[in-house]
């Protein structure tokens, strides 16, 4: 029975679903939260009791999502898709039918293709499906896809970074109102490479057991990404494709993919509080959306686009765990564990590294520690708090922009989102550097970053 109260319907109650609950209770106290989760444990029940949320043990599927969820959704309610393998496109359709807002932190299909089975469910293909839906969504209730930390808040940091760089280097520019303005600014700044650069140093007390996959966020999520082909936004300054690289035959053409699972591709990265580190080029939506957003075209032909990708060094125990994927299957994973209460120290350094061919490069991002994350919100570590802060900020923005159709993080008002999420992301570190992946790499070619 549909009631008139405000409702947040949440699909999936894993790491991020649990982490967002305290923020919803702070920022959306007037909403009833109703959660659907396939496998419920005691701690999840306790949590729902504490936050006065309703919890239903049911897997949301292709067949049942309409009949189960639609009766719960009214105009200006929220549908949050925080599950793995629950279709972004189908849930957006459902939300918009009811006049409800929609948000997820990652574009998902109902089912991922098996590793090695091509790119049918690559981030590129999934994004194109959303873009197709978007063409018919103008004026519909606002739906924000792929908006957590990254993908998500990093697109906000990127804009802040571009404005800061222009100001630091004394470069005048027009107000940035649309994608073309931002792309023009990026070109003026000679931005060639944008790394989403993350070095997670959180450590726990418990030793990893044989066969155990340990991470600071969803193990399913990370493993899925690790086994997908590596993907990256492909800049116009690049001279030659990397080994095993392919262009797409459809869609935006902003990105390429490699015939290699993400967990086998390593690149050089850098952060202000770790300096050089070796990162994995993990496929992520923002690599594609940022590259696409910052593309300038003349007569339809791209004349400027930066290379963009996610350069990720998970926490040390996750790195260790990734050896379990050596055969590119999940067969060696005997059990999983998410580091939360047992973390004893560390920060999740996550930011946008904007590399210019002409000017000093800028790393701007968060230095959030586990000690601070715990105090800001229960049920969180530094990693999850960055995700749910980004998501909550976008939810707040939707209320004041209710009929914008389907949007990506790059389309949002960066100042609003930044101001809303900043207390959870701070300390924000903004550091200029002359760092280069190799002494000779003045051109910032992708091959200079690639570790063979």
Region binding a second copy by CB under 8 A among candidate stretches 70-78, 134-142, 245-253, 367-375: 367-375
- Interaction of residue 426 with a second copy, rule CB under 8 A: yes
Nearer to a second copy, 22 or 302 (CB): 22
Nearer to a second copy, 147 or 199 (CB): 199
Under the binding rule (CB under 8 A), the answer on residue 316 touching a second copy is: yes
Minimum CB distance to a second copy, residue 167 (Å): 16
Build a one-symbol-per-residue string for 258-277: x at contacts with a second copy by CB under 8 A, - elsewhere: --------------xxxxxx
> How many CA atoms are closer than 13 Å to the CA of 206, on its beta-carbon side?
15
Using the rule CB under 8 A, which residue among 160, 199, 237, 340 binds a second copy?
199
Which one among 17, 346, 390, 405 touches a second copy, defined by CB under 8 A?
A: 346
Contacts of 430 (CB under 8 A, 6+ apart): 161, 164, 362, 363, 364
CA distance 451 to 430: 26
The structure tokens listed for 245 are 């690289």
Q: Report which of 290, 280, 239, 278 is spatially closest to residue 260, judged by C-alpha positions.
A: 280
**Cα(425)–Cα(234) distance, integer angstroms:** 29
Distance of CA 349 to the CA centre of its chain: 15
Cα–Cα nearest to 384, from 341, 330, 348 = 348
Distance CA 87, CA 65 (A): 10
Tell me if 215 contacts a second copy by CB under 8 A: no
Q: How far is CA 165 from CA 275, 354, 430, in A?
A: 20, 9, 10
Q: What are the backbone angles phi and psi of residue 79, rounded to the nearest 5°?
A: -115, 115
Select from 38, 115, 179, 203 the one that contacts a second copy (CB under 8 A): 203
Phi, psi of 424 (to 5 degrees): -85, -25
Q: How far is the CB of 365 from a second copy (least distance, A)?
A: 10
| 368 in contact with a second copy (CB under 8 A) | yes
Give how many residues touch a second copy by CB under 8 A.
Answer: 27
Cis preceding linkage at 427, omega within 30 = yes
Q: Which of 244, 345, 415, 438 binds a second copy (CB under 8 A)?
A: 345
Which one of 347, 364, 385, 421 is in contact with a second copy (CB under 8 A)?
347
Closest CA to 256 of 227, 221, 291, 297: 291
Query: Minimum Å distance from CB 314 to a second copy?
Result: 13
x/- binding map, residues 274-303, to a second copy, per CB under 8 A? xxxx--------------------------
Question: Judged by CB under 8 A, which stretch of 49-57, 104-112, 369-377, 406-414 contacts a second copy?
Answer: 369-377
Stretch that binds a second copy, among 70-78, 318-326, 333-341, 426-434 (CB under 8 A): 426-434
CA-to-CA dists, residue 350 to 60, 195, 353, angstroms = 32, 10, 9
Binding site for a second copy (CB under 8 A): 199, 201-203, 272-277, 316, 344-347, 349, 367-369, 371-372, 375-376, 426-427, 429, 431
């Amino acid at each position: 029975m549909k009631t008139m109260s405000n409702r947040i319907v949440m699909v999936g109650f894993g790491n991020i679903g649990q982490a967002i609950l305290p923020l919803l209770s702070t920022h959306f106290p007037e909403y009833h939260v109703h959660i659907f989760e396939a496998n419920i444990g005691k701690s999840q029940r306790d949590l729902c009791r504490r936050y006065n949320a309703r919890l239903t043990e049911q897997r949301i599927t292709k067949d049942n999502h309409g009949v189960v969820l639609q009766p719960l959704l009214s105009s200006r309610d929220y549908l949050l898709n925080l599950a793995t393998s629950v279709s972004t496109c189908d849930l957006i359709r459902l939300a918009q039918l009811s006049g409800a807002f929609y948000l997820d932190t990652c574009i998902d299909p109902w089912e991922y293709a098996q590793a090695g089975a091509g790119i049918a469910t690559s981030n590129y293909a999934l994004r194109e499906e959303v873009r197709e839906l978007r063409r018919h969504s103008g004026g519909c209730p606002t739906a924000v896809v792929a908006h957590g930390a990254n993908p998500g808040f990093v697109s906000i940091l990127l804009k802040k970074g571009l404005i800061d760089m222009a100001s630091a280097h004394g470069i005048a520019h027009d107000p940035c109102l649309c994608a073309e303005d931002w792309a023009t600014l990026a070109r003026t700044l000679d931005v060639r490479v944008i790394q989403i650069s993350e070095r997670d140093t959180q450590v726990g007390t418990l030793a990893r057991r044989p066969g155990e996959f340990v991470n600071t966020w969803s193990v399913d999520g990370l493993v899925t990404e690790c086994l997908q082909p590596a993907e990256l936004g492909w800049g116009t300054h690049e001279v030659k494709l990397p080994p095993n690289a392919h262009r797409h035959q459809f869609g935006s053409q902003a990105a390429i993919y490699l015939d290699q699972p993400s967990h086998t591709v390593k690149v050089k990265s850098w952060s202000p509080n770790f300096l050089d580190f070796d990162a994995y080029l993990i496929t992520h939506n923002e690599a594609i959306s940022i590259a696409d957003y910052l593309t300038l075209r003349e007569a339809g032909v791209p004349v400027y686009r930066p290379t963009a990708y996610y350069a990720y060094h998970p926490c040390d125990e996750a790195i260790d765990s990734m050896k379990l994927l050596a055969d590119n299957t999940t067969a060696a994973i005997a059990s999983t564990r998410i580091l939360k209460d047992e973390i004893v120290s560390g920060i999740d350094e996550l930011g946008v590294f904007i590399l210019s061919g002409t000017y000093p490069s800028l790393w701007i991002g968060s230095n959030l520690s586990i000690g601070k994350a715990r105090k800001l919100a229960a049920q969180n570590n530094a990693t999850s708090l960055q995700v749910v802060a980004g998501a909550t900020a976008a939810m707040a923005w939707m209320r004041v922009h209710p009929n914008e159709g389907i949007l990506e993080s790059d389309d949002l008002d960066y100042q609003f989102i930044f101001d809303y999420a900043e207390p959870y992301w701070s300390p924000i570190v903004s550091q200029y550097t002359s760092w280069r992946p190799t002494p000779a790499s003045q051109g910032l070619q992708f091959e200079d970053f690639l570790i063979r």
